[in-house]
Amino acid sequence: MLTRQGRPSLADGIALGLIATGAVSVGIGAIFAVASAAFEMFGAAPAVLMPVHDVDLTALMTSPV
């Protein structure tokens, strides 16, 4: 059985701290990505504004496009 007595070395502590910081950062980024995607999917529908005012619909029917 592998056992260790005492505290880890300074290099081990720094390495573990960097790994833990990276893991927490990835977790926070994932939570933010899921929340923003959910907001985009289930948020308010975008308003599509048409720049046509006071024009007959027949004028739109004759457009070349």
Residue-wise pLDDT for 2-55, tens only, equals 777 788 889 999 999 999 999 999 999 999 999 999 998 898 887 777 776 666
pLDDT, position 38: 93
3-state secondary structure of 10: helix
CA distances from 44 to 11, 40, 47 (A): 50, 8, 9
pLDDT, position 31: 97
What secondary structure letter does DSSP report for 48? -
Against a cut of 0.75, is the pTM above it? no
